[in-house]
Every structure is written in C-alpha cells, then in structure tokens.
Amino acid sequence: MIRTIDVRGGRILVGGETRDDVRLTISDGRLRAIEPAGGGGDVAGDDLAGGDVAIDLAGGWLLPGFIDTQVNGGGGVLFNNALGIEGLARIAAAHARFGTTALLPTLITDTAEAIEAALDAVDAAIAAGVPGIVGVHIEGPFINGTRKGIHDPALIRTLDRSIIDILCRPRRGVVMMTLAPEVVAVEDIAQLAAAGVILSAGHTDATYDEALAGFAAGVTGVTHVFNAMSPLLHRAPGMVGAALSEAAIWCGIIADGVHVAPAALDIAFRSKGADRLMLVTDAMPSVGSNDDFFLLNGRRMTVEGGVCMGEDGTLAGAHLDMAQAVRTMCAATGADLPTVSRMASASPAAFLGMAQDRGTLAVGLRADFVVLDAALQPVQTWIGGIKVAG
C-alpha cells in the first residue's frame, strides 16, 4: 500500500538538509519519494494539501528516528529479568514514546545461559516483527573487575570457546558485545569480529597501547566513553585517550548531565565529531514508567531524582531517553539540532552497519522518524511508515 504524508509548519531534516514543507511517499515501510508538499493552501485541521496523512509541526522538527545501541530496559522491564518477546515489546514501546525507532536490548553481565537466552529472545522478537528491535547488545561478562561499575563481580568471567561459538552463530539482527580488550585474547577478538560481532571496549582498565591493540584486532567502538574505563592522564592516556584520538572509532556517550559533565560532553564532541559520537541512554526500567526501584542480578537498585544507583551509590545505568539526550547534548556543545541529530541516528546506524537501511531520511531507506515540538519534546514516532507513538 502506498500512502503520502504532508509535513508542514516546521523544519524537516532530509538527507542532512533542512526543508520547510515536504510530502513523504511511503510503501512497504520505506520512503519512495520526498517532494515539496503539493497543493499549497492553508492548514485545515488534519487535511494538508491532499496527503493521506498530515503532520503540522507547529514550529517543531521532523527528524530521522533515534537509534540507541544500549538499552537495558524501559516500561518497568529490565531485559536481564525478562528474556522473551513480551518483555522486549514493552521495552521498545516505552522508548518509542521518546523517538527511538531502533534499539539494541542490552544484557548486563550475566550467566552463559542468560547470554544464549538473550540472543534467542531477540531473534524471536525480530521474527515476530516487534517494532524497533534490530539486534542485541551483550555488555559483559568479559570485562575488567577493576572497572565493573554496577556489574556483579561474581558473574565476571573469562571468554571461553563455548561462548564464542554461541556468539558466532548466524542471527536475524546485529550482535554487539562490550568487552575489556586487555582481558580477551586478540585472537578471540579477531574471530568474533570476523564472524560479524560488533565489538566495543568498555568496563576496561586498558592502557593506551592495549586499547590500540584491541582496535587493531577488531574492536570498532567504545561503550559509554569516560565511564567505567581507564581515564586520560598526561602520562597514561588510557582507554579514554585512545577512544578520543583514534578517528575510526565510534564512541557511545551518556548525555544525562550525571554520567558525564557538560564540559566533557563538549570535549568528546570536539574530539570525535558528530559522525563518530553516538548518543546512548544506558536506560533502565524506570524510563517510561513510574517505578522507583528495580532488581539487577537480585540486587536492589533505586531511582532518585532521575538517577539510578545501587545501595552503595554506584551509578546503575541511567534514567534517560534519547530525546532528553539530544536536548542535553545541544545545550552542552552549542551544536545545532541537525548536527546533534546525527549522533542519535546516522552515527549509530553507520556503527551498526545499517546506514543503507536507516539513520537518514532518504529515498529507499526506512520511513522511521520522530516529530519534536519547538522545545524538542517528542510528539510522534513513526516506524516503517506506521505511527507507533503520539
């Protein structure tokens, strides 16, 4: 079925350019044409110039849908605790309310059985057509206990052949893994990368040279840069120094104003640019719900003042959605919205190898987009040409 959507009254980001009024022609979930809105005339309720659907931006924006590579939970659900289609659907729906059109449910350090169950659950969700689920992120357990953060130290382990075999099996969506390159053999990193696993360095105490060795072996990203990793010191640049200085490496960053100071957000942006910096939420179940606590590996985590933490005060993921991350990044860097939008869409799409499918509004790509009002608050979210929120 072919449908047209007339969009007026604001700014539309198309292929990196800002336009005023457009008509989107959509079929089979993809953009088939992007043209000037036809017919002229005034806006009359929901009838704009004869399009099947009308969107009045009222001074706001229409942007490519947000892509989040690190989503632990949402809607009252933690992925670790709900390894099935129903839980994944609730997580995706919660984040769709805030403009996220594609995400990787993220399994925080857990058992080998949980890793396999997580991979299978995401496969099943993709097969069932759950909107927004495009792969899985396995964060740990092959990390450095020195930089464990909220991860359960009892579950941190060494990568072995059985897990490599599980990770290398063909899957319906992308498979991303966070590991500490200094605790994983370069041969194993190379094998995982060759099998198509997207590797990101995180929860790591790597030296600068160890970080570079990991990059050379196949690590292409860094998980929540600055957090839970060896810092940049003038005599020991560490993982942060390697992440910011290596031009080819993508860096995820948590722009909630808590995990990373505004000045450090700006430093990361100036170092990496919009095409190698990715906004991530590291979201917990509290996003899209009123829950003030949740359980992770049987341990109670609380949500106070918009901050998730363990009993000892350690940060436990974030109470953050992508629209908020966009607003925070705009404020911290002074960059304009089209630039920051790339960090929330085109950059993660490229990192995941999906740039030919999504991440930009262009003919032939998916009709995934978000409508923001003039204050950059989410109003509508569309996935595959279907409105799923708003």
Q: Catalytic residue positions?
A: 282
- The whole-angstrom separation of Cα 181 and Cα 206 is 7
For 21-160, where are the alpha helices, taking DSSP H only?
Answer: 85-96, 112-127
Task: Give yes or no for a contact between 75 and 106, defined as CB atoms under 8 angstroms apart.
Answer: no
Give me 214's structure tokens.
Answer: 């990991």
- The whole-angstrom separation of Cα 211 and Cα 219 is 9
106 alpha carbon, distance to own chain's centre: 10
Q: H helices then E strands: how many in the chain? A: 10, 23
Helix axes 322-333, 337-344, angle to 10 degrees: 130
Q: Check residue 75 and give left, alpha or beta (phi > 0: left; psi -120 to 50: alpha).
A: left
60's CB contacts (< 8 A; 6+ apart) are 9, 10, 11, 371, 372, 373, 374, 376, 379
Task: Give yes or no for a contact between 105 and 71, defined as CB atoms under 8 angstroms apart.
Answer: yes
Q: What is the DSSP string of 184-223?
A: S-HHHHHHHHHTT-EEEE-SB---HHHHHHHHHHTEEEES
